[in-house]
Amino acid sequence: MFRIAIILGAVIVCWFYAAAPDPRVLDALQMSANTAGSRVADSPEEEFYCPMEPDVRAPEPGFCSRCGMRLIKGLKDAKPYLLNIGVQTPSVADPELKRITLEVRNPATGKPERDFEVVHEKLYHLFVVSQDLSFFLHTHPERRRGEDFHADIRFPKPGTYRVLSDFYPRDGGPQLIKNTLMISEAGPAPVKAARCGACAPQSMPIKADLHSKESENAHVELELAPVRIVAGQKATLTFRIIPDDGLEPYLGAMAHMLAASSDLIDMIHNHPSQALDEPGGAAKDLVFNSMLFPREGLYRVWIQFQRLGIVNTAAFDIVAGSPR
């Protein structure tokens, strides 16, 4: 499923505040809204569909073949939830380790949200990407009953990081929320919150890279259709995994993909719609249909899959060109 995150704003070290939206962000959001609307507009009200994978539909109740969620009847509007993020350094002796606290609030009541659906085997998926695109993390914050989510993350260096939160409040629909973190070497005392209009991520000078990659225990190739990707137009990304023996579902899907624009404004979380065997069984093709890059420019695309009990990660750099 193709989903583009809601932009909330930029932050500095402790609690989040929304900054004035960049015009490029507004353009990206408008394009994603138009795309999402066109994907579900032709869905009959009596049809059952997956709230996380809207193109998975059925004429009767059941479960999603990709993520395992219960199919629901009719389209449910997703209400944007509020997300406050706190950052602390638990120990002066280990300044790289930060505790990230994620407070989700119901927009109708303003109260902390405690009731979430399990999506891809977890209540909360968190993606973290450094401004230079060298650091990538897909992790799952935890919580105790009645508390906010939290995750302990070891950041490789101070600087700007983009985070994508993926969760599903039971009464609010699926949420994809992007935020910006400024990580410093500060000690355990929280730094006073401040607005940060100048700390938006900057575009990184990366070049297209479609060469095959060696991951933890597999060889990964990427094919694009069409060969020239055009911004705002659907494309198919096929990741060929060699060998295909031992390939296993990972967090309720055959793979997870994150695409991030070089300026980290756009972040796209997706899953394969097909897993096909190559003739002779030498490879497995993980196919991502209807992939859409909202703006012109370079995107880094990470794919994660599991083989023989080991999570593999591979990254490619893709150019989305002008429609002209």
CB 17 within 8 A of CB 181: no
Give the span between the Cα atoms of 33 and 14, in whole angstroms: 30
Separate counts of helices (H) and strands (E) for the chain? 1, 22
pTM for the predicted model, two decimal places = 0.76
Residue 224: the pLDDT is 97
Strands 284-291 and 297-307: unpaired
The H or E element spanning position 248 is strand 247-248
For each of the domains in the chain, give its residue range(s) and CATH number, in order of start. 3-183 (2.60.40.10), 213-320 (2.60.40.1220)
In Å, the largest CA–CA distance within the chain is: 60
pLDDT reported for residue 170:
86
pLDDT of res. 39? 38
6-10 sheet: strands from edge to edge: 6-10, 175-183, 159-167, 124-130, 136-139
Q: CB neighbours (10 Å) of residue 45?
A: 7
Strand ranges inside 92-190, DSSP E: 97-105, 124-130, 136-139, 149-154, 159-167, 175-183
* pLDDT score recorded for residue 8: 32
* pLDDT score of 6: 33
Amino acid at 7: I
* C-alpha separations of 8 from 147, 156, 176, 228, 269 in Å: 22, 25, 10, 32, 17
Which residues touch 145 (CB under 8 Å, ≥6 apart)?
none
Task: Please report the DSSP string for 68-80 in residue order.
Answer: -PBPEES--PPPP
> What integer pLDDT is reported at residue 77 of this predicted model?
66
Nearest residue to 288 via CA among 258, 310, 321 = 258
Low-confidence ranges of the chain (pLDDT < 50): 1-43, 187-199
Going by C-alpha positions, the residue among 151, 150, 99, 142 that lies closest to residue 122 is 142
pLDDT score at 252: 85
Using DSSP's 3-state secondary structure scheme, residue 107 falls into coil
Which uninterrupted H or E stretch holds 277? strand 274-277
Residue 71 is predicted with a pLDDT of 76
